[in-house]
Structures are given as structure tokens and as C-alpha cells.
Amino acid sequence: MGAIESGFIGQSVRRKEDARFLLGAGQYTDDVTLPNQTHAYFLRSPHAHAKIRGIDTGKAKKAPGVIAVYTSADLEGVNGLPCGWLITDVDGTPMKEPPHPVLAKGKARYVGDHVALVIAETQNQAKDAAELIDVDYEVLPAVVNVVDALKPGAPQIHDEAPGNKCYTWAIGDKSAVDAAFAKAAHVTKLDIVNNRLVPNAIEPRAAVATYSRADDSYTLYVANQNPHVERLLMTAFVLGLPEHKVRVIAPDVGGGFGSKIYLYAEETAMVWASKRVNRPIKWAAERSESFLSDAHGRDHVTHAELALDKDGKFLALRVHTTANMGAYLSTFASCIPTILYATLLAGQYTTPVVYCEVTAAFTNTAPVDAYRGAGRPEATYVIERIVHQAGAEMGIPQDEIRRRNFIRTFPYQTPVALLYDTGGYDACLDEAMRIADVKGFAARKSDAAKRGKLRGLGYAAYIEACGIAPSNVAGSLGARAGLFEAGEVRVHPTGSVTVFTGSHSHGQGHETTFAQVVATRLGIPIENVDVVHGDTGRVLFGMGTYGSRSLAVGGTAIVKALDKVIAKGKKIAAHLLEAAESDIEFKDGKFTVAGTDRSKAFGEISLAAYVPHNYPLDKLEPGLNETAFYDPTNFTFPAGTHICEVEVDPDTGVVSIVSFSACDDFGNIINPMIVEGQVHGGLCQGIGQAMLEHCIYDSESGQLLTGSLMDYALPRADDVPSFKVETKVTPCTHNPLGAKGCGEAGAIGSPPALMNAVMDALSSVGVTHLDMPASPHRVWQAIQSARA
């Protein structure tokens, strides 16, 4: 690690981006106002499933202020929205990929499906005009539950997907698993639902699209996590525009959590329309539109079985999952319940054989895609709930059953494709138990019992695969994109630096973390480093931010560019100092001839590069500006243990979190303050899933019943405790920063930790089954049923 370990590394540097956010000077998409701007409004289907027999836009087009009204009939030559990952069915055929039209064509397939685009002088005029559009719907029966969608006779959503099936996919050695089960001393069985969630970044999605006749180019401001990917998908696959004629800017983005990865219909239609109306077009989702049309998360129904020997050693895991894709395949929908889910089912354990079969199906609901954790929370939830239940059934303490099965030698090849490079699972478990004061739990439990309350303690030892991903591995698994990252280090003549990264920050603090890496490596003040992201017009390329990949992949690309800057600096210094290049050392911002006091400061070298009077022009180009692309050789594997203690009031069903303790191993940490903040936020989202959040569609009408913040319970400040957070470090072995990623861990470990705590608390009253969210209503009902 050398120089990387000193300087600003490991320091809780206060964030460079905070001043603008705190002063109200952030620039989010909806803050962008362009001259002569128009406003867009999308008319959405009020029906979950309906034939569109005709659309009459005549009255709307004549309404005050209306500039244009478009329907699918107008979008000639515009393709559907693509899916970026091809999953192959167990029968060898490709997954079913029905068309995903930008505006509904012939049929609307979920409540909120886009039917028409109205563009007017003001937002109110666009809305008023939309009410004048007459859509002749023939309402069809709808199906919203994924299990129901696969039943014979279910409403058929796409002609291209008979029986609503998208694919059945499997991983693992089925016959070996069956053989292991035949020899098991104990088998634990579990049926669980991973509840559907709505991401709800506090900034609703928004876009401003503009076209310039001067050079036949487009600019799109959009709340998005990966502007280059957005541009690539939109131009190459949907609109057929030359990529270099479209600039996508994702300015300050108010949270993503996955929901802003995807190419959506709204901005695509707006870019297309901006040339037709030849004026800028603005749209910002109302929260109710976000509920209807942002890609949702989770929504799995799973049956799992764990085979154990008499000592509680895991012999095999067998999992069958049904995953809801929603009405259409969103950008990465297909890989979430497969590649990012089933490959994690070994968890932290030496389970020798694992088999998982996944059936994905279409329903009349909003598309489902990655949401913080994306597949890995679902996998962890299956593993850690079934391990908890196995421990409870066999009378083995929860820490002990995990210790008996931990992987302790690395690298470790799991039976489900992944190769863990490093880890230290005992250390995280020990530390989590220490900060959770597990030793004092028995006394606290008996004290609670005296007050008529039920205490429970729940563990979750999670692992995730981050740093996504080696492109060739992803490609062999069906990815239709590369998964590297790009970075550029532009050293200015006076030695200050602008860094361009393909990663995108929408809360993660890259402007600070990446600057810490650069300032440390170059030995310059952190004020002399600025980080630019989120603009295809400024950043060379980028795959963007998701899957906790920014530091491990995007940070490494910057390190590789820094290596080139320093290597070139050494050549320049060797010339200026009249020494051999091999004798030049770079440390603390100085190029020095080894063993002498002869040196040149970093700023002197950069100035020489741009004012090359005394310069080896015959051998070296002027300038000091280096780029690098980094494609990782493996995933990274953050892991840890979360322990939750709850107290349940059996009279009301109210679950109170007494404490939540997390010990995580994210590899090397650049900024502990930012990392802790990421953990806090993830924990809160996971607690939200486990206690509060549940997206519900009416099973008859297909209407979204939880369509506002009045009906869908996001965690509020008084729903969660302060958290106890610690870290242990085993550095990642295959990137120079030794970093693994920290963005999703909280949301992965916390749901099973909390639910296991609730199950532990309720075990004394005989409750054996409970699905998330553990709302007072559900908990109370479970207690009453158990008592009956």
C-alpha cells in the first residue's frame, strides 16, 4: 500500500460537497431552468391491464398553451426500452423479452403505464390538457401477485411470454444437493416472502431535454446514477441517434438506491420530442408518479430447505424462488434474482453444495429492478432466516451454529460460482457480539419479561459481491455491457488537479473520498483537488454507481491514472535533475534523486510539462493529463455481522428496536465518517423493509394501494435508534486500494437481523412464521393465531 496509507487516508475529512448543499446552492435537475422552456406531463393508464382501442388527442391539442401531444402512434422508428442482461432459461432458450414501448402501444400493462406525452407552456396547462385526452380502454383482468401470474388461466400480459413466464433459471448441482439431503440428520424448511418495496429517493425523478439546431445535438439533464450508460442505451438501442450528438448530465442527484440506474420512458420520450418542438422540455415527477412508475424492488416468494448433520454442520441448501418482474423488463431486472441473488447463497458458510432455481414472471405492476443491495439482500434474508430457524430447531446457540459453518480459508471457491478472495467472519461476529452486549441479554430479557414484554436477539452474518464486475465474467453470464470504470487525472500547470470519474455521487461523497486518494498520492493539499462526475460532456466515459462499486472500481481507475501521472512526472524530473529515471523517487509531493537532497516539487514538474522549455520533447509529450480504464479481476466481498435486539409488546404487537449493532468488513477505509454514514443509511432502509415498508397492489383491480407517503411507511427519525457501528479490516486482495465497498451492507444485513430478533422474541409464545414487515398488526395477529 505504501504511500496510499498516509496523508488523508483513514481520515474523517469533512465533505467538500456539503457547503453547496447546506447553503441551498445544490443544482438538482428540477433546479435547471432553460430559456424558452416548456413543460411535459405524462398521461398514465388508470387501469392495470387494458386494451387501448383508440386515443383521441384532438381536444387536448387545442387546449390553452399546448404545444404538442404525442402517443405511441407518433413514435415511428423509436424502439422499445432495452434490457441489459440476457438470462438463459434452463431449457436453453433465451428469456422472454416482450417489447417495452416508450409510450404504451395497443395495451396498458400496469397502473401508471405511459399512454401520452403532453407538452405545454406551463405545467398546469399540460396537466389540464391531459384531462382532455380521450382514451378508449377495454379493461382486462389483471394479475399482480407473481405466484398467481404463473397459475394456469392467469390473465396473459404479453403474447411473447406464454403463461407470463420470463424464464426459469438454475445454478448448482441438483443431484449432489438431493444426495446430501438424503443423508441429512436434520432438515429445516422455510417459506418466506421478500416484500415489495418502492425506493423513494427523496428527490423524485426529473429530466430537462433540449435540442440545438445549431449542431443537431441534444442535451439531457436527468436524475440518474450512470449518465454514460443512459446515453448509450437511449441512443444506440431506442432512438437511433449518434452517441456523440447527445450529452447527458446527471447533476446533483438526490439519492438513487438503484431506482435512478435505469433508462426510463419519460426522458427518452422527452429527448425525442425536444427536436420536434425545438424547445427545452422539463418534467419532474410528483411523488405519486414516483410510486407508480419508478422501478420497484424485491418481491420474491421463496421456499428454502437446509440440510444439516447432527452437529449443525450445513450439508446442502436448496432454494426455489419466484421473482416478480413487473409488467416489463426494466434495464437490469433479469439479473437481480439470478446472478446477483443465487450466487450469494453460500453466504459466509462452507455449505458444500447449493442448488437454486428461479422462475421470473410478468405481472400487471410497475417494473421491478435493483434496489439497494439488489439480489444480495434477498439471498441474505433466505440464508440468515433459515440458519436462525435451524439453530432454534436444533437447540444450537445462534453464534455457535454460524461459527460451526464459517469459511476460514481463502481464497474460497463457493458451489455457486463466486471465488471469495478474503474475509474474517469470526472477527466481525465477535465484535458485533461485544458491542451488542450479548452477555447481558439474558438479564435484559428476564427484566423485560417482568414488565410483560418479549425480548429477542437476532443475528445476520451477511456477505455481498460488490465491485461489479470483471466484464468478461459478467459477459459470460449474460451482461450486455462492460462493467469497468474510467478515470482521468488532469494536472493543471500550477499543480492543482481536476479528477474526472465515471462513478456518480448521489449522496456517497465521492468528491471528498476520491480527493483524499488523489491528494494523498500526489502529496498536495486536498483543496487543490476537485472531482467532476455526472456529465458525458466532461467525463471521458463511465459505467456509473451501483452495487457499491465506486471506490473499488472507480477509485482504482483513478489510482491507475495517478500511476501514469507519477510515472511521467518521474521522466520529467529525471530530465530536469539530470538523473536517471530509475533514480527518481516520488514521495510527499516531491520528486527526489534517491540518496540526495536534489528534488523538484510536484508543481514544478506540472509547470515544466505545460511550459516545456527545458523538456525532453524528443522523447516525451508535453502536458500532464492521464486517463485509465480499470476492469476488475474479481468481485469484492464485503461481509459482516449485524445483531438486533427487540422488545415486543404482546398486547399491541408493537416491535421496538432496543439496539442495533453492526460490525462490517469493507476492506480498507478512506473516510470512516462517510463509511459510517453509508452504514447508518443502509440499516435504516433495511429496518424500513423489515418493520414498515410494503408496496401493495389490490389483487382484483391492480390498483396501487400504497401510492403515497401517507400509505407507504418510510422510516422516520423516531422509528429507528442510534446505531452501534464498528469495522474490521481484511483488505481486498485484487485492487490497489484494498477497498470492498460499503453502500449496501446496511440494507443487506439488517432485515434478517431484525426479523430473527422478532422470531426469537415471539418463540416463547409459539409463533413459527412471520413475513416482513413486522408491523404491529401482523405481529399481533401472529401472536393471536399462535395462542388460539
- Range 497-534 burial, b when 16+ CB lie within 10 A, else e: bbbbbbbbbbbbbbbbbbbbbbbbbbbbebebbbbebb
CB of 322 to other proteins, least distance (A): 28
Whole-number Cα distances in Å, 261 to 165, 271, 399: 25, 17, 37
What whole-number distance in Å separates Cα of residue 740 and Cα of residue 638? 6
CB 620 within 8 A of CB 572: yes
Please, which residue, 9 or 565, has the CB nearer to other proteins?
9
Per CB under 8 A, the segment of 349-357, 525-533, 679-687, 778-786 that binds other proteins is 679-687
Counting contacts by CB under 8 A, is residue 65 touching other proteins? no
What whole-number distance in Å separates Cα of residue 100 and Cα of residue 45? 15
Per CB under 8 A, the segment of 30-38, 102-110, 484-492, 514-522 that binds other proteins is 30-38
Per CB under 8 A, the segment of 22-30, 325-333, 354-362, 573-581 that binds other proteins is 22-30
Per CB under 8 A, the segment of 28-36, 321-329, 344-352, 401-409 that binds other proteins is 28-36
Q: Which of 69, 130, 208, 284 binds other proteins (CB under 8 A)?
A: 284
Q: What angle do CA 736, 742, 744 make, to 5 degrees?
A: 140
Counting contacts by CB under 8 A, is residue 695 touching other proteins? no
Please, which residue, 673 or 729, has the CB nearer to other proteins?
673
CB of 200 to other proteins, least distance (A): 6
Taking each continuous run of H as one helix and of E as one strand, the counts in the chain are: 19, 28
**How is residue 681 written as a grid cell?**
443509511
What whole-number distance in Å separates Cα of residue 298 and Cα of residue 686? 12
Counting contacts by CB under 8 A, is residue 20 touching other proteins? yes
Counting contacts by CB under 8 A, is residue 677 touching other proteins? yes
Q: Which of 236, 654, 714, 765 binds other proteins (CB under 8 A)?
A: 714
Per CB under 8 A, the segment of 112-120, 286-294, 475-483, 780-788 that binds other proteins is 286-294
**How is residue 276 written as a grid cell?**
420536434
Site string for other proteins, 509-528 (x = CB under 8 A): x-------------------
Please, which residue, 127 or 590, has the CB nearer to other proteins?
127
Per CB under 8 A, the segment of 77-85, 88-96, 384-392, 717-725 that binds other proteins is 717-725
Site string for other proteins, 426-465 (x = CB under 8 A): ----------------------------------------
Q: Which of 10, 26, 98, 612 binds other proteins (CB under 8 A)?
A: 26
Please, which of residues 242-261 interact with other proteins by CB under 8 A? 252-255, 257
Contacts of 447 (CB under 8 A, 6+ apart): none
CB of 481 to other proteins, least distance (A): 25
Whole-number Cα distances in Å, 200 to 220, 222, 671, 759: 22, 16, 27, 28
Please, which of residues 728-747 interact with other proteins by CB under 8 A? 746
CB of 685 to other proteins, least distance (A): 7
Phi-psi region of 673 (alpha: psi -120 to 50; beta: other; left: phi over 0): alpha
**How is residue 737 written as a grid cell?**
486500494
The single residue listed with the C-alpha cell 416482450 is 98
CB 199 within 8 A of CB 296: yes
Counting contacts by CB under 8 A, is residue 760 touching other proteins? no
The single residue listed with the C-alpha cell 420520450 is 269
Strands 246-249 and 186-194: unpaired
Counting contacts by CB under 8 A, is residue 674 touching other proteins? yes
Counting contacts by CB under 8 A, is residue 507 touching other proteins? yes
Please, which residue, 409 or 722, has the CB nearer to other proteins?
722
Please, which residue, 214 or 717, has the CB nearer to other proteins?
717
CB of 255 to other proteins, least distance (A): 4
Counting contacts by CB under 8 A, is residue 709 touching other proteins? yes
Counting contacts by CB under 8 A, is residue 594 touching other proteins? no
Counting contacts by CB under 8 A, is residue 17 touching other proteins? yes
CB of 519 to other proteins, least distance (A): 19
One-character DSSP codes across 242-274:
-GGGEEEE--B----TTTTSSPPHHHHHHHHHH
Cis peptide before 469 (omega within 30 of 0): yes
Closest CA to 535 of 497, 503, 489: 503
Strands 300-308 and 186-194: antiparallel
Counting contacts by CB under 8 A, is residue 708 touching other proteins? yes
CB of 25 to other proteins, least distance (A): 7
Site string for other proteins, 171-210 (x = CB under 8 A): -----------------------------xxxxx------
Per CB under 8 A, the segment of 313-321, 517-525, 602-610, 709-717 that binds other proteins is 709-717
**How is residue 212 written as a grid cell?**
440545438
333: three-class secondary structure by DSSP: helix
- Range 400-423 burial, b when 16+ CB lie within 10 A, else e: ebbbbbbbeeeebebbbbbebbbb
CB of 10 to other proteins, least distance (A): 16
What whole-number distance in Å separates Cα of residue 38 and Cα of residue 395? 66
Counting contacts by CB under 8 A, is residue 508 touching other proteins? yes
CB of 673 to other proteins, least distance (A): 5
What whole-number distance in Å separates Cα of residue 493 and Cα of residue 195? 55
Please, which residue, 364 or 661, has the CB nearer to other proteins?
661
For the beta carbon of residue 9, count every other beta carbon within 10 angstroms: 21
Please, which residue, 61 or 724, has the CB nearer to other proteins?
724
Please, which residue, 337 or 507, has the CB nearer to other proteins?
507
Whole-number Cα distances in Å, 458 to 317, 405, 644: 21, 18, 5
Per CB under 8 A, the segment of 323-331, 377-385, 433-441, 503-511 that binds other proteins is 503-511
Report the first-to-last Cα separation within the chain, whole angstroms: 62
Counting contacts by CB under 8 A, is residue 19 touching other proteins? yes
Counting contacts by CB under 8 A, is residue 30 touching other proteins? yes
Question: What is the chain's percent helix, strand, coil content, to nearest 5?
Answer: 30, 25, 45
What whole-number distance in Å separates Cα of residue 425 and Cα of residue 306? 21
CB of 203 to other proteins, least distance (A): 4
What whole-number distance in Å separates Cα of residue 759 and Cα of residue 384? 12
Q: Which of 23, 92, 162, 582 binds other proteins (CB under 8 A)?
A: 23
CB of 429 to other proteins, least distance (A): 22
CB of 652 to other proteins, least distance (A): 19
What whole-number distance in Å separates Cα of residue 81 and Cα of residue 238? 6
CB of 477 to other proteins, least distance (A): 31
CB 147 within 8 A of CB 301: yes
The secondary element (H helix, E strand) that includes residue 781 is helix 776-787
Number of residues near other proteins (by CB under 8 A): 59
CB of 672 to other proteins, least distance (A): 10
Q: What are phi and psi of 733, to 5 degrees?
A: -85, -10
Q: Which of 158, 196, 455, 506 binds other proteins (CB under 8 A)?
A: 506
Q: Which of 4, 10, 11, 21 binds other proteins (CB under 8 A)?
A: 21
For the beta carbon of residue 477, count every other beta carbon within 10 angstroms: 17
The single residue listed with the C-alpha cell 459505467 is 543
CB 560 within 8 A of CB 628: yes
Counting contacts by CB under 8 A, is residue 1 touching other proteins? no
**How is residue 425 written as a grid cell?**
467472519
CB of 208 to other proteins, least distance (A): 13
Residues paired with residue 403 on neighbouring β-strands, in sequence order: none
Contact footprint for other proteins (CB under 8 A) = 12, 14-15, 17-28, 30-31, 33, 124, 200-204, 252-255, 257, 284, 286-288, 506-509, 673-674, 676-677, 680-685, 708-710, 714-718, 720, 722-723, 746
